[in-house]
Structure 1
Amino acid sequence: MTMTLSPEHNGPALGAVLTDDGCTFALVAPRAERVELALVRDDGTTIRNVDMTNDNGTWRAAVRGVVAGQRYGYRVHGEWNPDAGLRANPAKLLVDPYARAVTAGVDYTGPIFDHTAESYYEPDTRDSAQSVPLSVVVADSPAPEPIARRLPLEQCVVYETHVKGFTIMHPSVPEHLRGRYAGLAYPAVIEHLTELGVNAIELLPIHQFVSEPFIMGRGLSNYWGYNTLAYFAPHGAYCSVGTEGDQVQEFKNMVSALHRAGIEVILDVVYNHTCEGSHEGPTLSFRGIDHKGYYRLTDDLRNDYDVTGCGNSVDTGHEEVLDLIHESLRYWVTQMGVDGFRFDLATTLIRDSAHGVDQNHEFKKRLAADPVFDGIKLIAEPWDMGPYGYQVGRWGRGWSEWNDRYRGYMRDYWRSMVHGVNELASRVAGSPDIFDNDERPPSSTINFIDAHDGFCLRDLVSYDGKHNEANGEDNRDGSDDNRSWNCGAEGETDDPGVNALRHRQVRNMLAGLIMSDGTPMFCAGDEMGRTQQGNNNAYCQDNQINWVHWDLLDQWADVFATAKRFIALRRSSPLLQADDYHYRTEVTDADGKGLGRYEMAWMNGYSGEMGEADWNDGGRRLLGKYVSNATDEAFLIWFYSGDQPVEVTTPPVPWGTSYRIVASTADEGELPTEALGPQADFTLPGRTVVAMRVTVPTTRAQVDELEGITTAPADAAQDGPAEQPQQDATAEQTPERTAGSAQDAPAPQ
């Protein structure tokens, strides 16, 4: 191939951009004294080095004859002065931060460190070109097919999954597509998602990543992908055909296929740190370009200021770093078609120049002001490891947040390790005590009981403790605060009673999650009994510990059916997809007359609304969540974590004239199938979630007619107003000070 230099390119684009006669390259490196563009052959040898021109800190070159698929890298010359935060070392070939594709692989035995083995502060002058990944020139191509309509988050059910692990063992996916973008787009896979009812998938990191040297030294690899190398490049190993740019088109094809099925694509993105670790780690890109610019440093400038627990923290206090993140996000929306982002350790992104947390940070301002992100889902993991890093509930309008308070409490509730049901009401009402501020909607809380980090649902009911021996750290890694219960046996067992209880508990957790206000999220495989064999930190297990075992689907068909039924119920009614917080506001008819029922109320299971004594009962495990609107729709959801059956009485008129169970986690035959009238008794079995559709009077005249009349048969009650029982005047009622949202109930004990 013949390539010749062309006149300096003055366009604004960074990275590699193909032109009619070649390609322009641009790199921001304000502290560099010289930058070379290295054009590299497929065997890793250099074709030529091209000196770039400095344009006010942006280095540019244009080269004729370059075509798509050309490999390249940068060599940055400058001062080596670790005492000043400067670590330029031209012996290290660097990946372009704006590269849209990257070849796979790091040779961890090669000279990939900028320093010698003897000292972190002495430069290693050996060439790294044969040991590091390379950037790849990619041609522009059309964006994926857009989804017909992006849904608001309250209408979404989010399914967290891993591109490889989800399909690597799928029997219907062709072998060469398993574990790839094309595998996730395969019809049998999409059919499973649509049958289940999920309409948004959240992909664990797919930005090009590499494994950490210490993991590779154990014979393992970084499976989750939270170790980013290139923020514009889809991970090449998830492509079925190659890493010379093919991964870009295959990713786009996957997005198009999911969009055609009505499934949105959310990316888990890791802008808070990079794969280079601390100054002791490898130099693959950012450190060699501008160590002081990309990373937060300690006051002595010699070491990284780490608030992520991963060795380094990206410094969004610098304009060029903000530009990189902003442009990366824009690229994934406009060119790659994604519908949202979940920001890993998001607090790191809003720290100021003094490392303090600033909720008015320029990062948030940029996204709010950019119309590209209108309708795009922005989800924060609202904490990091640094001072004041825990920021749950503080991200404001336009943002949703992972709610670890929900995760922790609901785990405790289903193992009956709680005091009463006060906090249960708050959590299933959308955590208004945390998020009902600044006019934020309930979808601000991303409710989850499990995620990639920690036990999956099956393991939550199968293990009392973690079993991470396979990670090679003597079971010291991973959280000890699992809030799990093994149901009577540690690990796998043949005991039918234990296994039946485990199935029921998984059904309860999924059903309770889906029936909670807020945005539900659960992990791929939870609906079919996926297990990690007790490993609660399986980040380095690229094997059957993490992969979804599709052959479990038949054995766990009861869980799949329950999840499917409750998801369909949630999606059937706006009342179960709240876009605003419900309060104890009286519902009125078309004439403005009160109907004696409320947008939200809490039921005690014997007299109607919860009273002070009910809220203060530390032994209570039963709670009914009642929601209604001004038309004829109402639902009553019973949450019950007690282990023994309990007699439950439906609420009196005017709360409803009939109550029909439309979904439950109970076994067949445990609950009545006919509609129940007001103040009707039924037995609620231990550890059960029950959803009832409620028929309600819709005019004040109907309420007046019904009040004071004796009970009508249940069969008549289901068809409309009839003779109904008079409300017990002595029944304990919720005081007027309470509202439908749990924040107005007595404080948790």
Structure 2
Amino acid sequence: MKNSDYQIAMGSAFPLGATLTEKGVNFSVVSEEASLLLLCLFDRTGEEIQQIPFVTKQNGIWFMEVIGLKEGQHYALRAKGDFNLHTQNVFNEHKLLIDPYAKDLTNKLVWHKDLTTINSHNQPDETDTAQLIPKSIVRAVQAKECRPARVKVTPSSRALYELHVKGFSQNLAIDEGLKGTYLGVASPAGIQHLKSLNITTIQLMPCFSFMTEPHLERLNLRNYWGYNPISFFAPEASYAVKDAVAEFQEMVDALREAGFEVILDVVYNHTAESELNQACISFRGLDNAHYYRHHEGRYLNYTGCGNCIDTYNTNSIRLICDSMRYWVEVMGVDGFRFDLGVDLGRTDHDFTTDAPLLQAILQDPVLSRTCLVMEPWDIGPNGYQVGHFPKGFLECNDKYRDTVRRFWRGGEHVVPEFATRFMGSRDCFHKGLRSALNSVNYITYHDGYTMRDLVSYHQRHNLANMENNRDGHGDNISQNFGVEGETNDSTVLEKRLNQQLCFISTLLLSQGTPHILGGDELSHSQQGNNNAYCQDNEITWLDWQESNERAAIQEAISRLMELRKQYPILAEIRLEDDALYAHASSDHIEWLNEKSVPMTHEDWQQGSRGYIAMVLASADTSTKLWLIFNNKDEALELPFPEASKSVESLYHTPAFSVNGNSLTCSYRGVFIGKL
């Protein structure tokens, strides 16, 4: 290795990362505690050819301009400094480090025991990792010219569709080389399917570069979901044909062109470096004491993933906001879903709506205009915060999930809470303060049963995860209709399809913002696995085989989404007692029993009740909608509501039929009609 052949200039502290200049490349890296920071240059074979010390440090930022370097240069970092576990400084010059602001990486990172910064004696591990770490690439990534305009989604019409890039496209009928890729999602077959559902918003599961955890490597399994990032800027290379950056942009542009809003599931709460004695690949080697939360010499693990980013630290806040702006302005996304969002709202330890990161996002002129969805919990103290995030954030509502599951399983004393959840969970998203649209309603998510498995399995079947079936939720509030798993019994299959249609109908007729798990429209099964994070195979890859079941569910989603857009009152009703809508004329709701007369106190208190109906009337009385939910399998003859001589059926599950002045409900089902 030789000394630098390049002329070095002072450079600039901003922007952070590697930035092309007229004469070369400006490098800027945060490392408050390092005593020396080295820029390591590599050739295309991965050989380290030069080390150049940074020449300037101001306010914890090291920077310099290297004259003569060009775009495409491979590089990495090494940091020297104190090694003191009590202060959480673990500098180790033997460990090659990824630039936290790198926009592209040479290859996918694979776990290796030599990546650790600490040996078994709690001393610095002196094994050099130059051959193990992906190299950062100097790259000027720009927003594409002539990019399709952003799609403006009306909040009341928004419906999220959660999509895994590989799982969605791996079995699609497309060219073999596009399967499992960004371009596969953007293929005509992929776009056509998404458009057929009438949804508005694609929620991409994590696309940050990520690493498989050591314990999965030992079991010959892979991290499939991607919630284990190594970079907040570089897109995951395994989803690309050739160029992850360009192909991610192309996918987003194609989805935009097709009329979709695109939001990205992001993991800013922890990194793949995991526990202190695990990997040293970037943040840990540059500034462990500042990037990660710790107390009295120990990590605070509020994520359950070995570490958590200290989002109360100025540099972490800047890093996250810079990353978000990059994905919006350059990569093209329209918003974010935040994994374990409570961690982002913590100060020293506790959660507060005034947390600096949350406020930084909400005041930012770019980020505040995007769609922002929070997973409102982590595993730390006071880690459950549903309904407590500041205005501007939508929140995943697990109370809705559990209540709707209990209702359709036939639970006792569930109707009052079902009504609360149906109306937007106003016990959480309080009237006068927040719209019901802040409640992201869902029945299934990636972490749990698919909808097909929710009606097919009573017990989890996670043996493929190699943890003796101990992982995943034990109580799924599911129903198998008498047979555990797959069956050819036509009666059981009919009941399962009907239950899926009841779930879908409830979800898309509820007040709030609906979330659909990608694959539920295909009646996709994970064979009873409710924690398929490590199953990169046919368990999680969507099955595109045609079936009557699939056709019925897809048709239901498409029709119900059409109704949501046609009748905004289905998503957001403006009631007289809600000060949030004091400026507008009031809509009206009336709750009805099976005699189609107003519910009495006794009706609401009836423990065995499984029937609830309502009439939603718009303020101008031009629209009156009759909605019915019945979880019993006994036949009912339902008279039309008072003063209504006819009803126009807008959608119903198979149990319903109109007969003269009444409605027949043969077994459990959902009905919506116009009076």
**Structure 1 letter corresponding to 2:340:** L
**C-alpha contact 1:529 1:552 (8 A) present in aligned 2:** no
Displacement of 1:605 in angstroms is 2.7
**Structure 1 letter corresponding to 2:671:** V
**C-alpha contact 2:432 2:578 (8 A) present in aligned 1:** no
In 2, distance between residues paired with 1:279 and 1:148?
42
Q: Corresponding residue for 2:309?
A: 314
Aligned residue among 660, 664, 669 for 1:683: 664
* Within-5 A mapping of 1:32-43: 32-43=34-45
**Structure 1 letter corresponding to 2:617:** S
TM-score by length of 1: 0.86
Q: Corresponding residue for 2:657?
A: 671
**Structure 1 letter corresponding to 2:177:** H
Displacement of 1:257 in angstroms is 0.7
The answer to whether structure 1 residue 203 and structure 2 residue 204 are counterparts is yes
**C-alpha contact 2:590 2:614 (8 A) present in aligned 1:** yes
Partner SS, residue 322 of structure 1? helix
Partner SS, residue 427 of structure 2? helix
Displacement of 1:100 in angstroms is 0.8
Q: Does the C-alpha gap of structure 1 residues 107 and 203 become closer, same or farther in structure 2, counting only changes over 3 Å?
A: closer
Q: Corresponding residue for 2:631?
A: 641
In 2, distance between residues paired with 1:420 and 1:205?
35
In 2, distance between residues paired with 1:455 and 1:582?
39
Aligned residue among 45, 64, 68 for 2:67: 64
The answer to whether structure 1 residue 88 and structure 2 residue 91 are counterparts is yes
In 1, distance between residues paired with 2:179 and 2:63?
40
In 2, distance between residues paired with 1:326 and 1:420?
42
> Deviations 1:589-615 (Å, cap 9, x if unpaired)?
x9x9xxxx9611211131422111211
Displacement of 1:438 in angstroms is 5.5
Equivalent residues, number: 666
Aligned residue among 562, 579, 597 for 1:608: 597
**Structure 2 letter corresponding to 1:154:** S
**C-alpha contact 1:640 1:687 (8 A) present in aligned 2:** yes
The answer to whether structure 1 residue 377 and structure 2 residue 363 are counterparts is no
RMSD: 2.0
Aligned residue among 107, 111, 118 for 1:108: 111
Percent identical: 38
Q: Corresponding residue for 1:532?
A: 526
Partner SS, residue 636 of structure 1? strand
Aligned residue among 375, 380, 383 for 1:389: 383
**Structure 2 letter corresponding to 1:328:** S
> Deviations 1:227-285 (Å, cap 9, x if unpaired)?
011001111111111xxxx2111111111110111111111111111111110211111
Partner SS, residue 262 of structure 2? strand
Displacement of 1:130 in angstroms is 0.4
Displacement of 1:583 in angstroms is 5.5
In 1, distance between residues paired with 2:94 and 2:624?
69
Q: Corresponding residue for 1:652?
A: 642
* Within-5 A mapping of 1:6-405: 6-10=8-12, 12-56=14-58, 57-109=60-112, 111-116=114-119, 118-119=120-121, 121-143=122-144, 145-171=147-173, 173-241=174-242, 246-299=243-296, 301=297, 303-353=298-348, 355-405=349-399
> Deviations 1:370-410 (Å, cap 9, x if unpaired)?
11124311111101001101000111311110000000011
**C-alpha contact 1:442 1:581 (8 A) present in aligned 2:** no
Partner SS, residue 457 of structure 2? coil
**Structure 1 letter corresponding to 2:199:** V
Displacement of 1:165 in angstroms is 0.5
Partner SS, residue 294 of structure 2? coil
More displaced, 103-112 or 383-392? Answer: 103-112
* Within-5 A mapping of 1:612-627: 612-627=601-616
In 2, distance between residues paired with 1:79 and 1:544?
48
In 2, distance between residues paired with 1:39 and 1:657?
80
Displacement of 1:514 in angstroms is 0.3
**Structure 2 letter corresponding to 1:441:** S
Q: Does the C-alpha gap of structure 1 residues 129 and 580 become closer, same or farther in structure 2, counting only changes over 3 Å?
A: farther
Q: Corresponding residue for 1:737?
A: none
**Structure 2 letter corresponding to 1:94:** L
In 1, distance between residues paired with 2:420 and 2:460?
29
Displacement of 1:683 in angstroms is 1.2
In 1, distance between residues paired with 2:548 and 2:565?
25
> Deviations 1:670-715 (Å, cap 9, x if unpaired)?
512x7x6xxx322112111111012xxxxxxxxxxxxxxxxxxxxx
Partner SS, residue 233 of structure 2? strand
Partner SS, residue 557 of structure 1? helix
In 2, distance between residues paired with 1:437 and 1:323?
34
In 2, distance between residues paired with 1:177 and 1:3?
42
Q: Corresponding residue for 1:563?
A: 557
Q: Does the C-alpha gap of structure 1 residues 125 and 598 become closer, same or farther in structure 2, counting only changes over 3 Å?
A: closer
In 1, distance between residues paired with 2:504 and 2:321?
35
Q: Does the C-alpha gap of structure 1 residues 647 and 555 become closer, same or farther in structure 2, counting only changes over 3 Å?
A: closer
Partner SS, residue 9 of structure 2? coil
In 1, distance between residues paired with 2:523 and 2:262?
24
Q: Does the C-alpha gap of structure 1 residues 33 and 598 become closer, same or farther in structure 2, counting only changes over 3 Å?
A: closer
**Structure 1 letter corresponding to 2:211:** V
Which residues of structure 1 form unaligned runs of 5+? 695-749
**Structure 2 letter corresponding to 1:627:** L
Q: Does the C-alpha gap of structure 1 residues 113 and 496 become closer, same or farther in structure 2, counting only changes over 3 Å?
A: same
Q: Does the C-alpha gap of structure 1 residues 433 and 109 become closer, same or farther in structure 2, counting only changes over 3 Å?
A: closer
Which residues of structure 2 form unaligned runs of 5+? none
In 2, distance between residues paired with 1:10 and 1:304?
33
In 1, distance between residues paired with 2:18 and 2:573?
43
Q: Does the C-alpha gap of structure 1 residues 269 and 95 become closer, same or farther in structure 2, counting only changes over 3 Å?
A: same
Q: Does the C-alpha gap of structure 1 residues 53 and 553 become closer, same or farther in structure 2, counting only changes over 3 Å?
A: farther
In 2, distance between residues paired with 1:396 and 1:60?
36
Displacement of 1:361 in angstroms is 0.6
In 2, distance between residues paired with 1:598 and 1:398?
24
The answer to whether structure 1 residue 574 and structure 2 residue 576 are counterparts is no
Dislocated runs of 4+, deviation >6 Å:
none
In 2, distance between residues paired with 1:275 and 1:531?
29
Displacement of 1:133 in angstroms is 1.9
In 2, distance between residues paired with 1:271 and 1:318?
13
Displacement of 1:418 in angstroms is 3.4
**C-alpha contact 1:340 1:376 (8 A) present in aligned 2:** yes
